[in-house]
Structures are given as structure tokens and as C-alpha cells.
């Protein structure tokens, strides 16, 4: 099968399921990404600060998969924000990845105390215009940060990548983004393993009903919610498990049970604190 794709406001499409490589050591990254590509993944979520772009790039090059079939995201780190930082930062990421463009380039954190995200966004608009990033977006942006970009720039972010999992469903933010044409990407889609999915009321019953694992039900829920996900694992059997979410469908009752798991519970850094 092929992964379902969503169309971004840039006109480009994005595979709804991918692989995230946060905390994958440089030495493992090549093998993990090679395994993922073999299994059928085509979307990799990376970031300069993960310090594994070279390993990812080697796997991409050795796969022989045509560039247009891959979807590669990387992110601008906070210390490279500003008017002049993004260009060399993206050029270095491209060199490490062995690519001449990324599919999606994100501002990793608003880092409001630096107060440079508007200038950074203008620089990304420029890089987008030159074709170095097919689409551009943001990560960890709160409504106030999105509003400020809208006031001071012309390109609407294609995506906002935020913490999102059963215990933190981000309904309010998603409600603001949808009419603006900003797609939502989930980071920590499985809660980063920081709480037990077994403790989510009703989740085990849904999994039993469909003969799927808890992780598969959660990933399927993201997909049916219209959210983009890229769960992270370095284990091949879990790469297979996380990609095997297209042969079943959650019904309205299942979706309602999932919705009731929202507790507004963050497991990661607050957007205003990532600096």
C-alpha cells in the first residue's frame, strides 16, 4: 500500500505517517532509516539539533529511492534564528542530508524570549522562494505566535508540529489552525513513553476488539483525526508494527472513547520554554 497523503497550503503533499529520529544516535540513524525505507516509510522527520542528519542522509542515498518519492523535514535550531542565521543553517543541513532541497523546513521553537521568530520566518520565506524548502512551517507555536506571523508576513505556515497524544489532544489549537489551512503534526504521538498507554481508559478494549496493539490504535486514531504522525523507534519490529495501521478502522464509538482520554497533560517542554 502507499501511505495516505495530505495536501498542504503550499500545494505540495505530505505522507501522513513517517518516522521521527529524535534521540536516534548518529551511528544508528543510517540503519534505522534504511530499515524504515525498506518497510515502506517515505517520510522522515529530522532536525539539525538531533545531530544525526548525516546518518539519515547516507540511508537516503544508499536506498536508491527517487528523490521525489521521499519527504524529508528538518528544523532550524533556536541559536540560528534571526535574519541571517537560517540560510547557512539550512545549507548545512542540506549538505549533511546530501540533498539539494528539503520538503519541509520548520522553525523548531518560537523561543519568544529571543524575539526573533518573525525575522526567522521571513528568512524561511526567502529560502522557500528559492526552492531550498518546498514547504515551510513552524513547531511548538502557540496561537499568539501564529497571529504575530500572520500580521507580519505573507506565507501561512504549512504545518505546526506540536506535542499531541491521547492525554494532550490540542483541540483548541487545532480548531484555530484548521480554518487557516495549517496542518497539525503530532510530536510525541505515543506520549514519548512517559505515561503508560495501558492506563488510558478504554484503550485496551479497542485494541482487543481490532486485534491491534495499543500503539497501533493510537497511531490509527491520529490518522483518522487528520493529524500527521512520525512515531520514533529504533527497533525493526516496532517500525513494522507502527507502519501496519492501514488494514483496520476505528468506529465512531472508538473515536469517542479516544477523545475522552484528553487531560490537557503535557509530557514535554512548554512552547514558551523551549529556548
Is 125 an interacting residue with respect to ligand NAD (CB under 6 A)? no
Among 20, 86, 112, 166, contact with ligand NAD (rule: CB under 6 A): 20
Q: Which is nearer to ligand NAD, 84 or 247 (CB)?
A: 247
Q: Work out whether 189 is an interface residue with ligand NAD (CB under 6 A).
A: yes
E strand or H helix at 104: strand 102-107
Integer distance in angstroms from the first to the last C-alpha of the chain? 40
| Shortest distance, position 261 Cβ to ligand NAD, whole Å | 14
Minimal CA–CA distance to 72: which of 37, 124, 109?
Answer: 37
- Residue whose C-alpha is closest to residue 45's, from 103, 95, 129: 103
* Contact characters 144-183, ligand NAD, x per CB under 6 A: -----------------x----------------------
Number of residues that bind ligand NAD (CB under 6 A): 23
191 binds ligand NAD (CB under 6 A): yes
Cell numbers describing residue 241: 508494527
Q: Pick the stretch among 3-11, 200-208, 238-246, 255-263 that binds ligand NAD (CB under 6 A).
A: 238-246
Nearest position to ligand NAD, beta carbon = 20
188 binds ligand NAD (CB under 6 A): yes
Nearer to ligand NAD, 109 or 127 (CB): 109
Alpha-carbon distance of 74 to 90, in angstroms, equals: 8
- Is 238 a binder of ligand NAD (CB under 6 A)? yes
Q: Which three cell numbers stand for residue 226?
A: 487528520
With b for 16 or more beta-carbon neighbours within 10 A and e for fewer, the 233-254 pattern comes to bbeeeebebbbbbeeeebeeeb
Environment class of residue 74 by beta-carbon count within 10 Å: exposed (0-12), middle (13-18) or buried (19+)? Answer: buried
Cell of 190: 505515543
Q: Catalytic residue at 41?
A: no
Note whether 241 binds ligand NAD by CB under 6 A.
Answer: yes
Residue written as grid cell 497571529: 147
Query: Rule CB under 6 A: which of 34-73 touch ligand NAD?
Result: 45
Binding site for ligand NAD (CB under 6 A): 20-22, 45, 108, 139-140, 161, 187-193, 215, 230-233, 238, 241-242
Active site residues: 50
Amino acid at each position: 500500500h502507499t501511505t495516505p497523503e495530505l495536501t498542504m497550503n503550499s500545494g505540495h503533499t505530505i505522507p501522513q505517517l513517517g518516522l521521527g529520529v529524535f534521540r536516534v544516535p548518529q551511528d544508528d540513524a543510517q540503519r534505522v532509516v534504511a530499515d524504515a525505507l525498506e518497510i515502506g516509510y517515505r517520510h522522515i522527520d529530522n532536525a539539525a539539533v538531533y545531530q544525526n542528519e548525516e546518518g539519515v542522509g547516507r540511508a537516503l542515498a544508499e536506498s536508491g529511492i527517487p528523490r521525489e518519492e521521499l519527504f524529508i523535514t528538518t528544523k532550524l535550531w533556536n541559536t540560528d534564528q534571526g535574519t541571517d542565521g537560517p540560510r547557512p543553517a539550512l545549507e548545512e543541513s542540506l549538505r549533511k542530508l546530501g540533498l539539494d532541497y528539503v520538503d519541509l523546513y520548520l522553525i523548531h521553537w518560537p523561543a519568544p524570549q529571543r524575539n526573533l521568530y518573525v525575522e526567522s520566518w521571513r528568512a524561511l520565506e526567502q529560502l522557500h522562494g528559492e526552492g531550498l524548502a518546498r514547504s515551510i512551517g513552524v513547531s511548538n507555536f502557540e496561537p499568539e505566535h501564529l497571529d504575530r506571523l500572520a500580521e507580519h508576513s505573507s506565507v501561512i505556515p504549512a504545518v505546526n508540529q506540536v506535542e499531541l497524544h491521547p492525554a494532550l489532544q490540542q483541540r483548541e489549537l487545532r480548531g484555530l489552525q484548521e480554518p487557516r489551512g495549517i496542518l497539525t503534526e503530532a510530536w510525541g504521538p505515543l506520549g514519548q513513553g512517559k505515561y503508560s498507554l495501558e492506563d488510558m481508559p478504554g484503550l485496551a478494549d479497542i485494541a482487543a476488539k481490532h486485534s491491534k496493539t495499543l500503539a497501533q490504535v493510537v497511531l490509527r486514531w491520529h490518522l483518522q483525526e487528520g493529524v500527521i504522525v512520525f512515531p520514533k523507534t529504533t527497533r525493526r519490529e516496532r517500525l513494522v508494527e507502527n507502519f501496519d495501521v492501514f488494514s483496520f478502522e476505528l468506529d465512531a464509538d472508538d473515536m469517542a472513547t479516544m477523545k475522552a482520554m484528553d487531560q490537557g497533560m503535557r509530557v514535554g517542554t512548554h512552547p514558551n520554554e523551549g529556548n
